[in-house]
Amino acid sequence: MTNAGRRMMVAVGLAAGAAGVGVAWWRGRAAGTPDGAPPPTAGSHPVWSLTLARPEGGELALASLRGRPLLLNFWATWCPPCVREMPEIDRFARQFGPNGWQVVGIAVDQAQPVRDFLARNAVGYPIALAGFDGVALSRQLGNDGGGLPFTVALDAAGKVVRKHVGETRFETLAAWVAEMANPR
C-alpha cells in the first residue's frame, strides 16, 4: 500500500471514530445523561443516575457511592498515558480508601479488551464499562475536549472539586485530598 493510501485509511478511521464520539456525545446531551437515563433532579449531578456494567459481570450503580469523596478516572486500554497512570491511581486507592475515598476507573472501551487488560494488569479499585458514552460523561464532568485520561474528584456532597486531563501522578492526587481537607 502506498503512503497516500495509508494516510487515506488513517483519515477515514479517524473520521469514523470522531463521528462515533460525536454521536455518543449528542445522544447523551439529547437524553440528559450518557446512558439515556432521565435528567437528574435539580442540584444533583447526572453521574449519580448511572448504572454501568462491570467487566467481571454485574453492575455498578454510581448512586451507591454518594456521601463519600469519589475519584473517577476515565481511561482506555489503547491509551498509553492511561495505562501508565494506573499504578498511581491504584496507590491512591490503597492509601486513601481507608480514609473514606472511593475510586472508580471508567473504561471508555469495549468489554473484552478491558477484561483481557485487567487479567494482565490487576487493580484494586472497581472498574466500570462506559464504552464510547464515557466520553460524553467525562464532558459532563468538565472534560471539555474529551481527552484521555481524565481524572475528576467529587466531594462527599457530589460536587466536582478537582479535574485533570492527561496523565496524573499520586502526588497530585494526594495534594487534591489535602486541599479538600483544608479549603482556603
* DSSP designation for 2: -
pTM attached to this predicted model: 0.77
Residue-level pLDDT at 44: 58
pLDDT at 33 over 80: no
Q: How confident is the model at residue 60 (pLDDT cuts 50, 70, 90)?
A: very high
Is the pLDDT higher at 32 or at 87? 87
DSSP letters for 4-72: HHHHHHHHHHHHHHHHHHHHHHHHHHHHSSTT-PPPPPTTS-GGGG-EEE-TTSSEEEGGGGTTS-EEE
Q: How confident is the model at residue 4 (pLDDT cuts 50, 70, 90)?
A: very low
Residue-level pLDDT at 2: 58
* Digit-coded pLDDT (tens) for 79-137: 999 999 999 999 999 999 999 999 999 999 999 999 999 999 999 999 999 999 999 99
Task: Map out the domains of the chain as residue ranges.
Answer: 40-181
Region 33-56: mean pLDDT is 66
Q: Which residue has the cell 456521601?
A: 67
Domain 40-181's class?
Answer: alpha beta
- The one-letter amino acid code at 161 reads V
